[in-house]
Amino acid sequence: MAASVAAAVFFSLFLLGAGPPVPQPPASGHTLESRSLARDPDYAIVRGVLLRDLLGRDIQTLRLHAFRGGSLVPIPFQIDERDPRGRLVCPLGRSPEQDVDKGLFDENDELVFMASDSGDRIAPGARPVEWIALEEVEIRDPLTGQKGWCYLAAVSEPGAPSGIDYILYDPAEDRYVALYNTSVYMRGGINRADYHVNIYPPEAGGTGVDITDRLKIRIEIRLKAPPVKLRFHEDETEVETVAYIDGPIRVVRRNQLYLRVPFFTIPFGGAHDVIIYRDTNDTPIEVSVPRGASWLVQSLRIRLGTDLSPEAVGMRGSSSTAACPSRKNAWRCDSTGRTVRITGRSSPARRAP
């Protein structure tokens, strides 16, 4: 049942992505070099410091295009600002934020787009007159040397953006639906830290069924005095999404984790970002330790892991760069040493307390 509901949502997303017709810039120019890039699931991030001709521009006037089939077409992108400390600026949610320059493109702000949306390289000079400033972005696969290009331009009369949104986010339910990657957080209600649904549709090479049992969180705090260990797991945590970004390429959820103790909750570490793309997730975690905590805390240990559901048995994973991890009960390497197969046998992580 869960799989069919998710499939229905997925197709809604696809239809939204098709969207209404988008005004196109005039076809112009000719191809200087054809796109050879073949990587599909990767996103690309380009910092403003590399796009100097556009620094200081109002971000709302910027548009990203690719040259395909002899025409310039708008492609989905977003520009996320970072504050002077380097933290992503989240303009939505309970605690919305602004960059200090209030929406201008500066050196640490970043352009984000999918590598698969890039196109051919266009000949210099063959560009619409509406483009008052321009930077060519070349992306290159470091493994193969294959290339693709796109063009970020400041436009005098910016039209509608591409109309494609690869990822939808519902802050009320804390649920996201990405084109190739669907997850639902919160088991049994709001304010839970763990996700419990993760579906990869057939279009992404997946099975279309939920392969996740649950996220496991194990936190152990060893105190100096009294010399005791405090242990918390995912059922003893709460999370609050304090702010977020919802663009066409990625959703950023800024979460504050709380530990539940008798009668109240205490914040744990600083807020951390969960960054969700069309195909993948990133969760950089930074733990803030209060000044003076060394007088009280001997050590802190955090373990995170995902338990898979029986539907994951038989799945394979591979890496073009890394060898298989050491042999475990839960998976087996093939003869190449680069591919693992989920066996379904009980793993050390599952047996852990």
Under the binding rule (CB under 5 A), the answer on residue 108 touching Ca ion is: yes
Under the binding rule (CB under 5 A), the answer on residue 80 touching Ca ion is: no
Q: Which residue is nearest to Ca ion (CB)?
A: 99
- State which of residues 35, 37, 81, 198 lies at the interface with Ca ion (CB under 5 A): 81
Stretch binding Ca ion (CB under 5 A), from 140-148, 161-169, 286-294, 312-320: 161-169
Measured CA to CA in angstroms, residue 292 lies from 40, 272, 295 at distances of 47, 22, 6
Site for Ca ion in 209-248 (CB under 5 A): 246
Give whichever of 18 and 228 is closer to Ca ion, judged by the CB atom. Answer: 18
Shortest spacing between CB 84 and Ca ion, in angstroms: 7
- State which of residues 43, 51, 74, 106 lies at the interface with Ca ion (CB under 5 A): 106
Cα separation of 163 and 49, whole Å?
A: 27
Say how many residues touch Ca ion, by CB under 5 A.
Answer: 10
Shortest spacing between CB 179 and Ca ion, in angstroms: 11
Shortest spacing between CB 93 and Ca ion, in angstroms: 14
Helices (H) and strands (E) in the chain, counts: 2, 23
| Residues 306/212, Cβ–Cβ less than 8 Å | yes
Under the binding rule (CB under 5 A), the answer on residue 99 touching Ca ion is: yes
Cα separation of 254 and 257, whole Å?
A: 10
Q: What sign does the CA torsion over 36, 119, 280, 200 have?
A: negative
Shortest spacing between CB 110 and Ca ion, in angstroms: 9
Give whichever of 138 and 170 is closer to Ca ion, judged by the CB atom. Answer: 170
Burial 22-42 (b: 16+ CB within 10 A, else e): eeebeebbebeeebebebeee
- Which residue type is seen at 330? A
Give whichever of 99 and 240 is closer to Ca ion, judged by the CB atom. Answer: 99
Under the binding rule (CB under 5 A), the answer on residue 311 touching Ca ion is: no
CA dihedral 196, 198, 199, 204 (to 10 degrees): 180
Residue ranges in contact with Ca ion by CB under 5 A:
81-82, 99, 101, 106, 108-109, 165, 167, 246
